[in-house]
Chains A and B, each alone.
Chain A
Amino acid sequence: MSDATERSGVGEDVRLGFPSSAPAVYDSARRAPRWIEEAVQLWRYRGLVQELVIRDIKVRYKRSVLGILWTMLAPLLNMIALTLVFSSILKTAVQNYPVYFMTGSIFWAFFSQTTTSAAQQTTASNELAKRMFLPRSVFIASAVGGGLVNLILSLVPLILILLITGYPFHPTWAFLPVSILVITLFTAGISLLLFTVTSRFADVREMYTVLVQTWFFLTPIVYEPSIVPFRYRVLLSLNPMYHLIQVFRKPIYDGVLPSPTLLAGSFALSVAVLITGWVYFSHRSDKMAYWS
């Protein structure tokens, strides 16, 4: 694919090897709307996004003994601990707790790790983008890309647990790519918002860590929503993560597709968050060079 795109642009710039569609003239007085310009630049620098994702994976595993196994081991250990607590001590009524918990925790790990990493990218991005032209959205895209790689990897221990506990593989697994798409759009939107705010105020990063921790417990990940007292159900339904987690969990755990209402609602919400994040981010991105 990349061969084709590169060859098609051979016209002028093989010599430079610059992204072949790059405009030859930059005119500060004639710029496209910010949200378009940022999107064009992000596409142009997609090779860098790929490179950053690869770098982060390599750096993470280069000096660790367990290497890539760790990504898969961590959710397993978590699951074992919580299964012990919930099935033996709290006597949960959830059937096959390991699968129930792991579907939720994989989803949550993707969201929290990606957004946290996006917030941390501000430092790295400032260091580079202050000195050379780069669309800062590449750093957010690379956080999302890295999160996706981890998400895929952590499906391996989940499958392992399904096999061990003899849980059925529902045909609705085939729906998983759609679920992942929906939660990725939402996560990318939050990442954009968070990155923008953190660029201006560094302490938001710590605040977010605390927030995400609380949010985890307010979302039915380790417990089932039915144990939530009736008067708090409204609050629960206001939590976007409550709906998104179901989009991800239902095809695996319940073996059913998310209802059209749930799916349409989650999709609309995710797209709305992404658009808001994108517009806010690109609107502020000119300013980021001053803030840093």
Chain B
Amino acid sequence: MKEAIRLEGVTMRYRVPHERLNSLKEYTIRRLKRTITYGDFVALSGVNLSVAAGERVGVIGRNGAGKSTLFRVVSRVLIPSEGRVVVSGRVAPILELGLGFHGELTGRENVMIQGALLGFSRRQTRARLERIVEWAELQDFIDAPIRTFSTGMAARLAFAVATDVDPDILLVDEALAVGDEKFRRKCQDRMAEITARGRTFLLVSHSLEQIRNNCDRAVWLHHGAIVRDGDSETVAQAYHEWSLGETDQVAPAPGR
């Protein structure tokens, strides 16, 4: 099976000052007085992961376990401090719906920008506009400023643009949990459509329900390391039990 994502000993380390210093004045003064202290924050430590093309993988873990960092490393927002990341194919993120929307601009104008953020040319986005609007069921509102949209409407539009891309690898960060029941079902259907076409699918979610429904495999991150990796049912169950406090200890940690 072709490999879509491979992480080899990926460590993500931040050197952070103990206090946040984003003022040059303060930085200079403290630097001269030598009172800046740093600490290392390790968001990912030695993560090894291989995802085959067409796999549907869920990522679970507590807040701060490194889930978002893992996504950022895969989508090349962050360059790993150590190790290697290899990603084959186009990555499309569905992270926060409506990121990059501008309230003063119309729905149509915002779609053009979203398209450009995903790497489309004007012509390409315009060719898709009709279909996007239709899917989002916003034909009557598309020329009104986004600020007049409800949250649900904006989310619908953002989701429609992002999933119209048909990428090789889709990164989804809990974006599915918005909107009304009908819209959620529609999103689910579209996700299923995408994975049915053999696209790789990575989902971060706190909802084990979502992981079970959408993924075949799940990866459990704890303090920046993978502690469980297996079929989604088993891993979700183990995580669930652990988070209820039924088991004290995190299951044997491979790769530590």
Closest residue to B120 on the A side, CB-wise?
A17
Bound-complex Cα distance A132 to B165 (A): 15
- With beta carbons under 8 angstroms apart, the residue of A2, A3, A289 that contacts B72 is A289
Instruction: Give a binary string over A53-71; 1 marks a CB under 8 Å from any B CB, 0 the rest.
Output: 0010011001100000000
- With beta carbons under 8 angstroms apart, the residue of B95, B96, B104 that contacts A62 is B104
In the complex, what residues of B have CB within 8 A of residue A207's CB? Answer: 24
- With beta carbons under 8 angstroms apart, the residue of B100, B104, B109, B166 that contacts A16 is B166
With contacts A28-B79, A45-B119, A201-B24 known, is A128 near B85, CB below 8 A? no
Which chain B residues numbered 99 to 118 have a C-beta less than 8 Å away from chain A?
99-100, 102, 104-105, 109, 112-113, 115-118
- With beta carbons under 8 angstroms apart, the residue of A22, A45, A203, A289 that contacts B24 is A203
Closest residue to A44 on the B side, CB-wise?
B119
Which chain A residues numbered 21 to 41 have a C-beta less than 8 Å away from chain B?
22, 24-29
Bound-complex Cα distance A50 to B116 (A): 9
Bound-complex Cα distance A52 to B24 (A): 29
Minimal beta-carbon separation of B17 from chain A (angstroms): 11
Minimal beta-carbon separation of B142 from chain A (angstroms): 16
In the complex, what residues of B have CB within 8 A of residue A44's CB? Answer: 119
In the complex, what residues of A have CB within 8 A of residue B14's CB? Answer: 290
Of B121-129, B211-219, B241-249, the one contacting chain A is: B121-129
Q: Is the CB of B88 within 8 A of A6?
A: no
Minimal beta-carbon separation of A13 from chain B (angstroms): 8
Q: Is the CB of B87 within 8 A of A289?
A: no
Smallest CB-CB A-B distances: 5 pairs:
A201-B24, A51-B116, A48-B116, A28-B85, A29-B84
Q: Is the CB of B25 within 8 A of A203?
A: yes
Subset of 26 A-B contacts with CB under 8 Å: A15-B166, A16-B90, A17-B124, A17-B128, A18-B90, A18-B120, A19-B119, A22-B90, A24-B88, A24-B89, A25-B89, A47-B122, A48-B119, A58-B105, A59-B104, A130-B77, A132-B77, A132-B95, A133-B76, A133-B77, A133-B93, A134-B117, A200-B24, A201-B22, A201-B27, A290-B78
In the complex, what residues of B have CB within 8 A of residue A63's CB? Answer: 104
A286 on the B face (CB < 8 A): yes
Bound-complex Cα distance A270 to B240 (A): 61
Closest residue to B124 on the A side, CB-wise?
A17
With contacts A22-B90, A24-B90 known, is A16 near B77, CB below 8 A? no
Which chain B residues numbered 64 to 81 have a C-beta less than 8 Å away from chain A?
72, 75-80
Q: Is the CB of A131 within 8 A of B88?
A: no
Bound-complex Cα distance A203 to B168 (A): 41
In the complex, what residues of A have CB within 8 A of residue B84's CB? Answer: 27-29
Closest residue to B21 on the A side, CB-wise?
A201
Closest residue to B95 on the A side, CB-wise?
A131
B60 on the A face (CB < 8 A): no
In the complex, what residues of A have CB within 8 A of residue B83's CB? Answer: 28
A202 on the B face (CB < 8 A): yes
Bound-complex Cα distance A290 to B77 (A): 10
Q: Is the CB of A26 within 8 A of B85?
A: yes
B157 on the A face (CB < 8 A): no
In the complex, what residues of A have CB within 8 A of residue B87's CB? Answer: 25-27
B35 on the A face (CB < 8 A): no
B86 on the A face (CB < 8 A): yes
Bound-complex Cα distance A289 to B72 (A): 10
B221 on the A face (CB < 8 A): no
Minimal beta-carbon separation of A50 from chain B (angstroms): 7
Bound-complex Cα distance A133 to B14 (A): 19
A254 on the B face (CB < 8 A): no
Besides the known contacts A51-B113, A51-B116, A289-B72, 15 further A-B residue pairs in the complex with CB atoms under 8 A apart: A6-B121, A16-B165, A17-B119, A17-B124, A18-B120, A26-B88, A28-B86, A47-B121, A50-B116, A58-B109, A59-B102, A130-B77, A201-B22, A289-B78, A290-B78
